[in-house]
């Protein structure tokens, strides 16, 4: 859980990291106030707070906390670049390529406002993308600001994800200490309460977080400058593993496999890490068995029996984590004193030959054992909307089921949507409306459950190429840089690339792009992967006058972009905040204040239908049916493809006694959502 924090404290060691190897790293100098690296500590704390704050705000899915983070990030970036406290983003070719792709995706999203089917939803998506762009640009600036920037950014993200995973596990042990799980009310008939969802409020997102956390913690057990921090990182591995188990998510399992495989493929000196991984995995298995054997605790309901069993498992967890930490201390001491035996030094050529030999043997064996048939069966199970339920609903064993739960149908629908406008798409945020009109079954769906296919549907081929190009550029650049870097630098690049690979896998299978805590963590890891340890050579001769003028122009451009970004985020944030307050006031019975807040939301977002719909609902409660119908009609003109606006208009017109108008509005709502039971 404590990844790399000690590295932020030593000025001397961080400014000259080339001479520090993994074995010698713990021998850094003693801490003193005079050597305290305040700037490094600030970078570490800032990156950790970004992720933790969003995670505790329901994962940052809500536009209000996400918008607040966007405003804060762009202010820091704008002021830092303008005052020259931060370097310009994109100082290296690799980071410039990645930044250019993400900026291009942002601009294409902005251009889609000209043809989108919903300006309100597209503006919300644009604010989301602008926020992520700001986080990535700020991450690049922090990484390239100083030699130790990569370590500090990576350490902050590792600590944040480890802390969130630990809190999630603790929320299962003592449920009364945390907010109640409301998901069972949203999905009646499904034993969703078994799945660990706090604090992201989505079990697959928690599984993704745990899977991304594992390689980062494993890297911290080798990179931390002190044995104590290495031991703490190792102790957090069983907790992350337990979080993955309790999330009961096939997506999380896929993320963990991809992330760990990427890390082990890219990292140096794998033997100590494999030993640590074995100890951490063993500890996680012990904790999973402890939970599984206690039915009340595994059930996930806040009963007295569950509280008692949770207390028992807390003590078991403390013992297991302490044991893993002690094992890590032993591994670290052996590595420090003995290093790596010569017999275990395997060259890259030897590793490639061994890998090829294993594949030559494994492929025919898997074919003979019926591998193709099993793959075909798994694919059919995935395509089935119900999936394989033989293990029971939400049973932990379904973590390896990989059933689609409707994803295949969502992806089919996204491809069909893309065929209607292959180069422009239907507009960001509009897949929900498309699904309502063309759904293959009745179900509430907002996203296509795939970042890539959703952008193909909503932003066309250019959108897919830009966001896919950005993700693959991060992985390709990070992987190639890791393989060429010295061991101490290689380990950090391997960890950042592995965490990014885990997110990329999750984004292909689920809607984690909308979970801002995960996306912000990914953007920070991506910044490390493409910019870590890539400061320009200070000995290179430059033409100072030309460079100074060019820097001034570029900084001015960043300031202009920053101001534009702040405005892009501010108006949707102001509208969402006023609309939320209107809903709260209406719930408390203060309809006058609620109506004023709805007016404020409409002023902030003149293109939006939601504030007008809120006005209509409030006026309807006040008995002012004529202005209510007028507001609802205005909402239908803003969002002609949204069935809810027509449904509410139909209801208000029926209350007014205008049956013909009500039937026409009702018919339009039914055509926009033909499978919805209330409209049949």
Runs of H (alpha helix) within 430-543: 431-438, 451-484, 487-509, 516-531
Q: For residue 166, is it within any domain?
A: yes
CA atoms within 13 A on the CB side of 351: 12
Number of domains the chain contains? 2
Q: For residue 552, is it within any domain?
A: no
Closest CA to 658 of 625, 627, 609, 632: 625
Helix (H) or strand (E) holding 543: none
Instruction: Please say if the pLDDT value at position 581 is more than 70.
Output: yes
Instruction: Please say if the pLDDT value at position 355 is more than 60.
Output: yes
Question: 492-513: b or e for each residue (b if 16 or more CB lie within 10 Å)?
Answer: bbbbbbbbbbbbbbbbbbbbbb
Within 8 A by CB and 6+ apart from 680, the residues are 670, 674
CA atoms within 13 A on the CB side of 37: 23
**Using CA atoms, how far apart are residues 226 and 230, in angstroms rounded to an integer?**
6
Looking at the fold, whether 221 and 324 belong to one and the same domain comes out as yes
Looking at the fold, whether 223 and 128 belong to one and the same domain comes out as yes
Write out pLDDT tens, residues 282-309.
999 999 999 988 888 888 888 888 889 9
- In three-state secondary structure terms, 313 is helix
Average pLDDT rounded to a whole number, residues 188-205: 74
Instruction: Please say if the pLDDT value at position 179 is more than 50.
Output: yes
Looking at the fold, whether 507 and 641 belong to one and the same domain comes out as no
Cβ contacts of 542-548, under 8 Å, gap ≥ 24: none
Residue 108 burial (C-beta neighbours within 10 Å; 0-12, 13-18, 19+)? buried
**Using CA atoms, how far apart are residues 591 and 583, in angstroms rounded to an integer?**
9
Q: For residue 499, is it within any domain?
A: yes
Looking at the fold, whether 498 and 598 belong to one and the same domain comes out as no
Higher pLDDT, 346 or 313: 313
Q: For residue 326, is it within any domain?
A: yes
In DSSP notation, 120-141 reads: HHHHHHHHHHHHHHHHHHHHHH
Looking at the fold, whether 583 and 529 belong to one and the same domain comes out as no
Looking at the fold, whether 73 and 177 belong to one and the same domain comes out as yes
Q: How confident is the model at residue 629 (pLDDT cuts 50, 70, 90)?
A: very high
504 neighbors 525 (Cβ within 8 angstroms): no
Looking at the fold, whether 508 and 632 belong to one and the same domain comes out as no
Looking at the fold, whether 185 and 323 belong to one and the same domain comes out as yes
Structure tokens belonging to residue 125: 């998506």
Structural domain range at position 666: 574-679
Write the CA distances from 5 to 37, 148, 154, integer angstroms: 11, 12, 9
Looking at the fold, whether 496 and 636 belong to one and the same domain comes out as no
Instruction: Please say if the pLDDT value at position 33 is more than 50.
Output: no
Closest CA to 413 of 429, 427, 431, 425: 431
Q: For residue 354, is it within any domain?
A: no
Mark which of 512, 535, 558 sits at the end of a domain: 535
Looking at the fold, whether 467 and 578 belong to one and the same domain comes out as no
**Using CA atoms, how far apart are residues 435 and 396, in angstroms rounded to an integer?**
30
Higher pLDDT, 88 or 10: 88
Q: For residue 524, is it within any domain?
A: yes
Q: For residue 671, is it within any domain?
A: yes
**Using CA atoms, how far apart are residues 335 and 507, in angstroms rounded to an integer?**
37
- The pLDDT assigned to 35 comes to 60
Write out pLDDT tens, residues 366-399.
666 666 665 666 666 666 766 544 444 445 555 6
Instruction: Please say if the pLDDT value at position 190 is more than 50.
Output: no
Write the CA distances from 47 to 41, 154, 156, 558, integer angstroms: 10, 8, 5, 21
Looking at the fold, whether 476 and 595 belong to one and the same domain comes out as no
Question: What's 674's domain CATH number?
Answer: 1.25.40.10
Residues 195, 52, 238, 207, CA torsion sign: positive
Q: For residue 404, is it within any domain?
A: no
**Using CA atoms, how far apart are residues 281 and 252, in angstroms rounded to an integer?**
16
Structure tokens belonging to residue 429: 């945020």
**Using CA atoms, how far apart are residues 205 and 198, in angstroms rounded to an integer?**
10
**Using CA atoms, how far apart are residues 149 and 142, in angstroms rounded to an integer?**
6
Mark which of 519, 535, 551 sits at the end of a domain: 535
Q: How confident is the model at residue 552 (pLDDT cuts 50, 70, 90)?
A: confident
Enter the pTM of the model.
0.89
In DSSP notation, 357-399 reads: HHHHHHHHHHHHTTHHHHHHHHHHHHHSSS---TT-TT-GGGG
| Residue whose token pair is 């991809």 | 258
Please give the sequence-ordered ranges of beta strands (E in DSSP) within 74-169, or none if there are none.
none
Question: 239-275: b or e for each residue (b if 16 or more CB lie within 10 Å)?
Answer: bbbbbbbbbbbbbbbbbbebbbebbbbbbbbbebbeb
Looking at the fold, whether 218 and 101 belong to one and the same domain comes out as yes
């Amino acid at each position: 859980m404590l990844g790399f924090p000690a590295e932020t404290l030593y000025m001397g060691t961080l400014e000259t990291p080339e001479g520090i190897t993994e074995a010698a790293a713990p021998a850094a100098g003693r801490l003193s106030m005079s050597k305290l690296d305040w700037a490094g500590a600030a970078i570490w704390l800032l990156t950790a707070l970004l992720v933790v704050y969003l995670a505790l705000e329901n994962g940052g899915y809500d536009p209000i906390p996400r918008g607040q983070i966007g405003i804060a990030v762009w202010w820091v970036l704008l002021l830092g670049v303008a005052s020259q406290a931060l370097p310009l983003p994109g100082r290296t070719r690799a980071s410039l390529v990645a930044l250019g792709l993400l900026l291009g995706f942002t601009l294409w999203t902005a251009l889609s406002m000209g043809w989108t089917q919903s300006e309100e939803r597209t503006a919300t998506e644009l604010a989301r993308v602008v926020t992520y762009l700001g986080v990535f640009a700020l991450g690049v600036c922090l990484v390239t600001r100083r030699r130790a920037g990569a370590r500090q950014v990576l350490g902050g993200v590792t600590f944040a994800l480890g802390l969130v995973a630990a809190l999630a596990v603790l929320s299962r042990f003592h449920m009364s200490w945390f907010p109640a799980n409301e998901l069972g009310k949203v999905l009646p008939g499904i034993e969703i309460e078994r799945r660990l969802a706090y604090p992201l409020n989505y079990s697959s997102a928690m599984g993704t977080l745990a899977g991304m956390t594992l390689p980062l913690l494993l890297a911290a057990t080798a990179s931390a400058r002190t044995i104590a921090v290495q031991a703490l990182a190792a102790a957090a591995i069983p907790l992350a593993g337990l979080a993955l188990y309790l999330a009961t998510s096939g997506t999380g399992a896929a993320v963990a496999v991809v992330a760990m495989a990427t890390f082990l493929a890219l990292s140096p000196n794998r033997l100590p890490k494999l030993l640590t991984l074995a100890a951490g995995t063993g500890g996680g298995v012990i904790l999973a068995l402890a939970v599984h054997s206690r039915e009340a605790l595994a059930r996930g309901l806040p009963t007295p029996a569950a509280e008692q069993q949770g207390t028992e498992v807390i003590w078991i967890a403390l013992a297991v984590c302490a044991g893993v930490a002690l094992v890590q201390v032993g591994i670290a001491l052996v590595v420090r004193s003995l290093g790596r035996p010569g017999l275990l030094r395997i060259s890259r050529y030897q590793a490639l030959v061994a890998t090829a030999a294993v594949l030559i043997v494994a492929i025919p064996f898997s074919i003979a054992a019926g591998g193709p048939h099993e793959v075909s069966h798994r694919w059919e199970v995935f395509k089935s909307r119900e999936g394989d339920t033989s293990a029971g609903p939400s049973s932990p064993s379904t973590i390896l089921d990989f059933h689609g739960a409707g994803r295949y149908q969502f992806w089919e629908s996204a491809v069909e949507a893309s065929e209607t406008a292959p180069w422009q798409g239907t507009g960001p945020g509009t897949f929900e409306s498309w699904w309502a009109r063309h759904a293959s079954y009745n179900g509430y769906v907002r996203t296509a459950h795939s970042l890539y296919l959703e952008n193909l549907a909503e932003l066309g081929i250019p959108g897919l190429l830009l966001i896919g190009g950005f993700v693959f550029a991060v992985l390709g650049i990070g992987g190639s840089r890791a393989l060429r870097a010295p061991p101490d630098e290689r380990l950090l690049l391997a960890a950042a690339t592995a965490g990014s690979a885990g997110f990329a896998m999750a984004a292909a299978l689920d809607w984690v792009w909308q979970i801002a805590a995960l996306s912000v963590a990914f953007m920070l890891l991506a910044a490390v992967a493409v910019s870590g340890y890539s400061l320009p050579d200070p000995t290179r001769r430059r033409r100072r006058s030309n460079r100074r003028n060019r820097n001034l122009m570029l900084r001015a451009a960043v300031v202009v972009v920053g101001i534009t970004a702040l405005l892009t985020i501010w108006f949707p944030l102001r509208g969402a905040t006023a609309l939320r307050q209107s809903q709260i006031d209406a719930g408390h019975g203060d309809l006058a204040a609620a109506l004023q807040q709805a007016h404020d939301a409409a002023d902030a977002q003149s293109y939006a239908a939601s504030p007008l719909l809120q006005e209509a609902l409030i006026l309807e409660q006040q008995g002012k049916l004529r202005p209510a119908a007028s507001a609802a009609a205005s909402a239908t003109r803003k969002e002609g493809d949204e069935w809810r606006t027509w449904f509410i208009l139909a209801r208000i017109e029926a209350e007014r006694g205008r049956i013909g108008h009500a039937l026409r509005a009702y018919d339009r709502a039914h055509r926009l959502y033909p499978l919805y039971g209330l409209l049949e």
